[in-house]
Structure 1
Amino acid sequence: MSNEPIISLSHVTKRIGRTTIIDDLTFDVPQGEIFGFLGPNGAGKTTTIRMIVGLMSITKGQIVIKGKNIKTEFEQAIRHVGAIVESPEMYKYLSGYQNLVHYARMVPGVTKERIDEVVSLVKLENRIHDKVKKYSLGMRQRLGVAQALLHRPSLLILDEPTNGLDPAGIRELRDYLRHLTRTEGISVVVSSHLLSEMELMCDRVAILQQGKLIEVMPVQSFTRREDQIQTYHIQAQAPEQALLTIRQMEGVQDVKLVEDGLFEVTTERERIPDILAGLMKNNIRIYGVQMVSQSLEERFLEITGGRQIG
């Protein structure tokens, strides 16, 4: 797998009149990564996506896709991109297959074999010859992804792809995108307001606020900050004795009994071995210890000051 980024944004700025919508945005997305955009309403997620696919001009900076500048080499750059911005538009009176054939005619080199291949990839073989008007929303999303993949892009861009999907459809899309990055080596850029899904779906996430990039980090680094105060669950016997023992220990900020035998302890990571040793010294048996990771939503609200997500 190449170390060269599939897409690179460098100091990208978008102004409309005197208002700065996007302010000096810089990041790279390597091959085979699912990269997520998160931010409050008006943060600039969709604007950024529109600039990447050429639907909106760039005021300053540059976007490079597979070594081609979107400003000066648009046709060469955009041929590496497949995108669904908002909802996929289909001809509902045609079958799914007929829709794909129609779009394939617009792109040189898309064969019948390739159409069959993407149908198989998105697992629509059993329904591809049904009219699109009979499709569920999840099936239409999968057909939209199939359409975006017809020309073998290196970069797939999805703006709010889980909108309107039920939990099963969301999981299906998430699993499919993971499969796609592993088997096809495609990079995916996805925006969403469903933080729990982004946490499960993405390798890294970018936090945007008022057009500025606040932070880009791996999802695990967002939710597991081991150098700071963290919460742990400790399963032990003799609840009353264990509670008293933990309360008397140095460095414990808070401890409470969540349920019989399960304690929630807030402390530094380095204090956990001492806590366990103290319990064992008092002949209290320990059955398990687990760090309670801060969720992506909690981390997001912490960074953005609790602003609404959208």
Structure 2
Amino acid sequence: MSSSKITPIVQIREITKRIGSKTIIDKLSFDVPPGEVFGFLGPNGAGKTTTIRMMVGLMSITSGDIWIGGNSIRTDFEKAIRHVGAIVENPEMYKFLTGYQNLVHYARMIPGVTKERIEEVVSLVMMENRIDDKVKTYSLGMRQRLGIAQALLHKPSVLILDEPTNGLDPAGIRELRDHLRKLTREDGISVIVSSHLLSEMELMCDRVAIIQNGKLIDVRLIKEYGEDGMAEVMFEVDQAQTAKEHLDKMMQELNIAVQGNRILLLLEKEQIAEVNKLLVQAGIKVYSIQATSKTLEDKFLEMTGSDQIA
């Protein structure tokens, strides 16, 4: 099913934030589909944290609106925020208590959270072996996982994490990435992540919104084949010009570029085998076939013209 037919869990419409004469966020609009890890990416001072603060009610919206689960943050805040679990900045914990005692303490503030639900979230973040240890003995990655467990206590539809990989070592980042994927796949939760680590966003997210100077630049799917199912494919061959001429005759709709001993074509996945077959039949040796889709970093720098990433 295409995401356009699915009702978004978060709808951001023309939101603007002005402080004095300065516009921090300028008519920002995008949707977050259910059951996805959605990345929020932009250069320094682009407005990511400001947008997240408006989403969770920590900052007022100058104009526009945000709907979460069909409820407006501006006019029906309590109903909208019920759908949200969030960690903005670092998760705050009582270090002298155990992980379990921390969760019990937070559960008392939320109506209807049972002992069973506490055990469920402990299992979700895979902390069964450490939940009865004091938080002061936890690594940063463990505290991050406990923070996520706390944010999930009331069964939110959306989990918002502002820079969740800050300070984590590579093992902790990988662990976090695996947990977020598990949440979206198994529980259908949407996760919104802001991060300055482009390579991590590429591995972690299903799609990313890129903003610059408070404006939306683009929303991109993160996968090898674009939304239209096309990717640029490079064939390394022994006779590049002959290969181009042969394919021009056989598949006239293709746009073929020659680079040394390589030809580059924009193809659907199914066409790759077809092109390979035509080349082999024409007696042209094919040494390698490779998708040359740009990395998220390439796309980011191309769109923002900036290497300031935060």
The verdict on a shared fold, with TM-score over 0.5 as the criterion, is yes
CA shift for structure 1 position 72 = 1.7
Alpha carbons 2:184, 2:190 under 8 Å: kept: yes
1:153 aligns to what?
Answer: 156
- CA–CA distance in structure 2, aligned partners of residues 198 and 266 of structure 1: 30
TM-score norm. by structure 1 comes to: 0.86
CA shift for structure 1 position 225 = 8.2
- CA–CA distance in structure 2, aligned partners of residues 194 and 178 of structure 1: 17
CA shift for structure 1 position 198 = 1.1
SS at match of 2:298: helix
1:98 paired with 2:78, answer: no
1:246 paired with 2:240, answer: yes
CA shift for structure 1 position 247 = 5.3
CA shift for structure 1 position 157 = 0.2
1:62 paired with 2:65, answer: yes
Q: C-alpha offsets along residues 158-189 of structure 1, whole Å, 9 cap, x if unaligned?
A: 01111111222111111111111122111111
CA shift for structure 1 position 140 = 0.6
Q: C-alpha offsets along residues 266-296 of structure 1, whole Å, 9 cap, x if unaligned?
A: 5233697668745664463x36412122101
Would the alpha carbon gap of residues 266 and 23 (structure 1) be closer, same or farther in structure 2, given more than 3 Å must change?
farther
Which range moves more in the overlay, 167-176 or 47-56? 167-176
Would the alpha carbon gap of residues 222 and 196 (structure 1) be closer, same or farther in structure 2, given more than 3 Å must change?
farther
Letter in 2 for 1:289: I
1:123 paired with 2:123, answer: no
SS at match of 1:97: helix
Alpha carbons 2:240, 2:258 under 8 Å: kept: no
- CA–CA distance in structure 2, aligned partners of residues 135 and 39 of structure 1: 31
Letter in 1 for 2:234: Y
Q: 1:25 aligns with which of 21, 28, 31?
A: 28
2:248 aligns to what?
Answer: none
2:199 aligns to what?
Answer: 196
Which range moves more in the overlay, 119-128 or 21-30? 21-30
2:306 aligns to what?
Answer: 306
Would the alpha carbon gap of residues 166 and 62 (structure 1) be closer, same or farther in structure 2, given more than 3 Å must change?
same
CA shift for structure 1 position 307 = 3.4
- CA–CA distance in structure 2, aligned partners of residues 108 and 183 of structure 1: 24
CA shift for structure 1 position 306 = 2.6
Q: C-alpha offsets along residues 69-89 of structure 1, whole Å, 9 cap, x if unaligned?
A: 111211221121100012111
CA shift for structure 1 position 35 = 1.0
Alpha carbons 2:224, 2:293 under 8 Å: kept: no
Would the alpha carbon gap of residues 126 and 275 (structure 1) be closer, same or farther in structure 2, given more than 3 Å must change?
closer
- CA–CA distance in structure 1, aligned partners of residues 13 and 140 of structure 2: 36
Point out where structure 2 has 5 or more consecutive residues left out of the alignment.
245-255
Would the alpha carbon gap of residues 106 and 283 (structure 1) be closer, same or farther in structure 2, given more than 3 Å must change?
closer
* RMSD (Å) for aligned C-alpha atoms: 2.5
Q: 2:266 aligns with which of 269, 273, 277?
A: 269
Letter in 1 for 2:297: E
Letter in 2 for 1:149: L
| Identity in percent | 63
2:41 aligns to what?
Answer: 38
1:259 aligns to what?
Answer: none
